[in-house]
């Protein structure tokens, strides 16, 4: 049985009409239960990540400003979310969820955070709805808990480039950062991943899957990772408001299967984080996330 980590109970205030899909997290948790993919007790609520742990990835002054509500107007604009104590609490819980899911993966083969994938957060800056970089935090802590941890691959299939992850982890020789994203999408100032694949606007299922297969081959040429952190963004979907690509829901399911199959072949354990998804109807984003969860549950057996 796969264990899931949730933090949706920690809501935060958003202005009317804001694009952040606050409602998707609770809907996904409820559907996991109603569709029999998880029992209520399989979905655990993550605690807020320790400030000391966040401080091993992020700059101390940045964290002070976040904690004390002293982000500048510009920093808040770049983050894209209005600061509140509740937002900070939620960001910490979301970050911890990815760490817990990584621990589950190490223990049982698979773990999934019903959130996280906050890949735009860099060392000294929140960006694009991302306050903390959960991926870098999880890897940092896991290494301390398991000094022998082997190579780690970040397979970032969110439609936006994982610029914060690239900034934080590309220099790390034991981590391979792959980002597969829309070439015309945010962020407009990129960081360099170990492998960046820029897809033209309008890319559909077949081309996407061909690029993904080649990119996974790039990881394979580097090493067979012990741990794969998969950012299963729902925003490459054709109906997404921010994505600009044209994948169908079945194309996204094929993407998930390709990543999970390859990880299985490598003998990797897998941690899944949701990352983005901005369908006009939240139910579409939730469908896509649910299909990812279903694929994980099916493999975990």
Least distance between Zn ion and beta carbon 245 (Å): 11
Closer residue to Zn ion (CB): 158 or 163: 158
Closest C-alpha to 144, from 274, 57, 64, 219: 57
Interatomic CA distance for residues 262 and 33, integer angstroms: 28
Min separation Cβ 113 and Zn ion, Å: 15
As a whole number of angstroms, the distance between CA 3 and CA 38 comes to: 8
- Which span (37-45, 58-66, 94-102, 229-237) binds Zn ion, by CB under 5 A? 229-237
Stretch that binds Zn ion, among 38-46, 218-226, 251-259, 271-279 (CB under 5 A): 271-279
Shortest approach of Zn ion to residue 107 CB, angstroms? Answer: 29
Number of neighbouring beta carbons within 10 Å of residue 242? 16
* CB closer to Zn ion, 134 vs 226: 134
Closest alpha carbon to 232 in 293, 280, 176, 186: 293
Binding mask 38-77 for Zn ion (x = CB under 5 A): ----------------------------------------
Using the rule CB under 5 A, give the single segment among 55-63, 165-173, 232-240, 283-291 that binds Zn ion. 232-240
Q: Which stretch binds Zn ion (CB under 5 A): 43-51, 140-148, 230-238, 258-266?
A: 230-238
Residue found by looking up tokens 């829309």 in the block: 182
Please state at what angle helix 85-108 crosses helix 134-145, rounded to 10 degrees.
50
Q: Which two tokens stand for residue 297?
A: 């549950």
Task: Tell which one of 3, 7, 127, 160 touches Zn ion (CB under 5 A).
Answer: 160
Whether residue 287 contacts residue 249, with contact meaning beta carbons closer than 8 Å, is answered with yes
Which lies closer to Zn ion via its Cβ, residue 61 or residue 248? 248
Site for Zn ion (CB under 5 A): which residue of 118, 276, 287, 296? 276
Query: How long, in residues, is the chain?
Result: 301
Specify the residue, 2 or 169, whose C-beta has the smaller distance to Zn ion. Answer: 169
Out of 8, 100, 134, 158, the residue judged to bind Zn ion by CB under 5 A: 158
**Residue 41 or residue 281: which is nearer to Zn ion going by CB?**
281
Stretch that binds Zn ion, among 52-60, 146-154, 156-164, 206-214 (CB under 5 A): 156-164
Please give the angle made by the CA atoms of 9, 11 and 12, to the nearest 5 degrees: 165
Task: Yes or no: say if 109 and 270 are a contact pair by the CB < 8 Å rule.
Answer: yes
How many beta carbons lie within 10 A of that of residue 8, not counting itself? 21
Q: Map tokens 């006009």 to a residue.
A: 280
235 binds Zn ion (CB under 5 A): yes
Rank residues 205 and 235 by Cβ distance to Zn ion and give the closer one: 235
264 cis-preceded (ω within 30 degrees of 0): no
The helix/strand/coil state of 67 is helix
Give 206's contacts (C-beta < 8 A, 6+ positions apart). none
Question: Which window, 140-148, 153-161, 208-216, 257-265, contacts Zn ion (CB under 5 A)?
Answer: 153-161
Q: Which residues bind Zn ion (CB under 5 A)?
A: 158, 160, 235, 276
């Amino acid at each position: 049985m796969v264990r899931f980590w949730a933090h949706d109970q920690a809501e935060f205030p958003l202005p009317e009409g804001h694009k952040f899909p606050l409602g998707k997290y609770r809907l996904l948790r409820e559907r996991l239960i109603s569709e029999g993919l998880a029992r209520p007790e399989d979905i655990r609520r993550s605690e807020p990540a320790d400030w000391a742990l966040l401080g091993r990835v992020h700059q101390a002054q940045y964290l002070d400003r976040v904690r004390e509500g002293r982000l500048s107007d510009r920093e808040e604009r770049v983050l894209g979310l209005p600061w509140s104590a509740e937002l900070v609490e939620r960001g910490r819980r979301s970050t911890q969820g990815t760490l817990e899911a990584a621990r589950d993966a190490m223990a049982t083969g698979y773990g999934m955070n019903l959130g996280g994938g906050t890949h735009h957060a860099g060392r000294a800056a929140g960006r694009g709805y991302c306050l903390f970089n959960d991926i870098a935090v999880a890897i940092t802590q896991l290494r301390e808990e398991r000094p022998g941890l082997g190579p780690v691959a970040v397979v970032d299939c969110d439609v936006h480039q994982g610029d914060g992850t690239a900034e934080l982890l590309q220099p790390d020789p034991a981590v391979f950062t792959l980002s597969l994203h829309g070439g015309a999408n945010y962020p407009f100032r990129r960081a360099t991943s170990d492998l960046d694949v820029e897809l033209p606007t309008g890319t559909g299922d077949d081309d996407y899957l061909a690029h993904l297969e080649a990119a996974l081959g790039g990881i394979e040429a580097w090493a067979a990772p012990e741990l794969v952190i998969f950012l299963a963004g729902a925003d490459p979907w054709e109906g997404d408001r921010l994505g600009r690509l044209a994948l169908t829901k079945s194309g996204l399911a094929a993407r998930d299967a390709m990543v999970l199959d390859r990880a299985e072949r490598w003998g990797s354990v897998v941690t899944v984080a949701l990352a983005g998804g901005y369908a006009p109807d939240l139910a579409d984003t939730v469908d896509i996330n649910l299909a990812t969860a279903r694929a994980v549950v099916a493999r975990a057996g």
